[in-house]
Structure 1
Amino acid sequence: MPRTTVGIIGAGPAGLLLSHLLHRQGIDNVVLELRDRTYVERRQRAGILEQDTVDVLRLSGAGARMDRQGLEHHGIELRFDRRSHRIDFPSLTGGRSVMVYAQTEVVKDLIALREEADGTILFEAEALSVDGIETDRPAVRYRHDGAEHTLDCDFVVACDGFHGIGRRSLPEDVLTVTERTYPFSWLGILADVAPSCDELIYAHHERGFALHSMRSPEVSRLYLQVDPDDSTDNWPDERIWDELEARFAVDGDWELKRGPITEKSITPMRSFVAEPLRHGRLFLAGDAAHIVPPTGAKGLNLAVADVTLLAQALTRHHTRGDESLLDAYSETALRRVWRAEHFSYTMTTLLHSSPDDNDFDRALRLSHLRYLANSAAASASLAENYVGFSDN
Structure 2
Amino acid sequence: MIIGVPQEVKNNEYRVGLTPGNVSGLCKQGHSVLIQRGAGEQIGLSDETYRIAGATLINSAAEVFHKAEMIVKVKEPQAQECAMLREDQILFTYLHLAPDPKQTKALIDSGATCIAYETVTAMNGALPLLAPMSEVAGRMSIHAAASHLEKSHGGLGVLMAGVPGVSPAKVVILGGGVVGRNALQIAVGMGADICIFDKDIDRLRQIDALYGNRVRTFYSDSLLIEQEVREADVVVGAVLLPGGAAPKLVTREMVKKMKTGAVILDVAIDQGGCFETSKPTTHADPTFLVDGVLHYCVANMPGAVARTSTFALTNATYPYVEALANRGVIQALSIDHHLRNGLNVHKGFLTSQPVAQAQKLDFVLAEEFFVA
TM-score by length of 2: 0.30
Which one has more relative contact order, counting CA pairs under 8 Å at least 6 apart?
1
TM-score by length of 1: 0.29
The structure with more strand, counted as a fraction of residues = 1
